[in-house]
Amino acid sequence: MTKEEAKALILKYNSGLCSDGERELVEDWYSQFAIDEASGLSESDFDQIGVEMWAGLPDEAKGNVGRSRTVKLWPRIAAAAAVLLVVGLGVFFYNYYTNTLRHHNAGQDLGLAGHDLNPGSNKAYLILSNGKRVSLTDAANGAIAKEAGVEITKTADGKVVYAPRHPDPSELRSKFSSGSRTGYSDVLNTIETPKGGQYQVRLPDGSKVWLNAASKLIYPVSFTGRGQREVTLSGEAYFEIAKDKSHPFHVKTLKQDVEVLGTHFNINSYADEPNIKTTLLEGSVKVNDAILRPGQQSVLAGGKIKVVPADLEEAVAWKNGLFRFENANLPTVMRQIARWYDVDIVYPAQMPAGTFTGEVYRNMTASKVLDGLGFTGVKFKIEGKKIIITH
């Protein structure tokens, strides 16, 4: 069995879809190679385990391994979570948290569960054209405001929706008495998420935008009267743009302009990240002077753009409720955690080496995620709104 096949089998086990034979195989493997022993596994050890696991599978099950793409992490067990991490030379670690399995490292606990941090949630602020700031967390579902020929509504599932309406005559008189002849396209709204928040907005043209934590989107209340549709982003967002060939859609960030007609893409433009990444899932976009095709990513660093193959699952993991890392160093991992749990990170004088690869749900408390990362030997403690890396 290859490592990918072993991973697929364990994810299948996590999702509750294993046959009795497959489940017994995984549990037998786990009982033989306990967590506190797994850190000593070599590449050859892992390959041998894979061979033994594969040999024990019933024939009808072997054809199914590797086909499932589920990433659900053992929902059948209370407070369960799984983290797959690759460290250093690529040894795989599988760490399962249950009420009965022993901790992999008793010294790692450090009271994490007693000083825990809840994950982020649907939290955002809507800033109207008159400067009024509306907490979408506290606002009741239903109509929030009416302006510029649009009704703004909050839905029960964490969305802000803009829908055209017929403006009152008084609005029209006020609008045009001010000397404007461009309709409502110069009326801007802003939606911003704090650390530990996320939100979704459906723009007046039907385009959908998902905002990650600590992000801001500025956009017109109406695109009518504009030659092109234009929004401004800071932070990270995933876009599904409504097609309109006669009105190109532009997403402007501090250092780049993304032009699209109708497409799905993600932009990561946080100020504390070393570069700006635009990842295309569907359609075609132009990033400054670079053309992206589906499956490609532009990386803007030092004023220069490089187009590279994209890890699509990693780029949009946050939108799908996951942390996903691919050979990420510790600061890269901790920046995501800091934004999602609204904390400051305190690093040691000497940064721990190694990289992280794996995925875990973002709806877990910080202690669960940190305990998983701690399986690599990095140690953490939580003090108030700080996560302190102690080794």
Tell me how crowded residue 243 is: count the other CB atoms within 10 A of its CB: 14
Residue 364, number of CB atoms within 10 A of its CB: 22
Asked whether the predicted pLDDT for residue 308 surpasses 80, the reply is: yes
Long-range pairs for 37-44 at CB < 8 Å and ≥24 separation? 38/93, 38/94, 38/104, 39/91, 39/93, 39/104, 39/375, 39/377, 41/91, 41/92, 42/91, 43/89, 43/90, 43/91
Give the pLDDT band of residue 202 (cuts 50, 70, 90). very high
User: What's the mean pLDDT when you consider all of the chain?
Assistant: 76
Asked whether the predicted pLDDT for residue 137 surpasses 80, the reply is: yes
| Among the four given CATH numbers 2.60.40.3140, 1.10.760.10, 1.10.540.10, 2.60.120.1440, the one describing domain 121-313 | 2.60.120.1440
At 81 the pLDDT is: 29
Q: What does the pLDDT read at residue 346?
A: 96
For the entire predicted model, the pTM comes to 0.72
Of 328, 344, 343, the residue nearest 376 (C-alpha): 328
Cβ 378 vs Cβ 330: under 8 Å: yes
- The answer for residues whose C-beta is within 8 angstroms of residue 99's C-beta and 6 or more apart is 77, 78, 79
The predicted-structure confidence for 53-74, as pLDDT tens digits, reads as follows 455 555 544 554 444 333 222 2
DSSP state letters, 61-72: HHTTTTT-----
pLDDT tens digits for 329-366? 899 999 999 999 999 999 998 888 778 888 888 988 99
Give the pLDDT confidence score for residue 3 in this predicted structure.
Answer: 54
Q: Locate the domains of the chain by residue range.
A: 121-313
**Tokens representing 344?**
């400051």
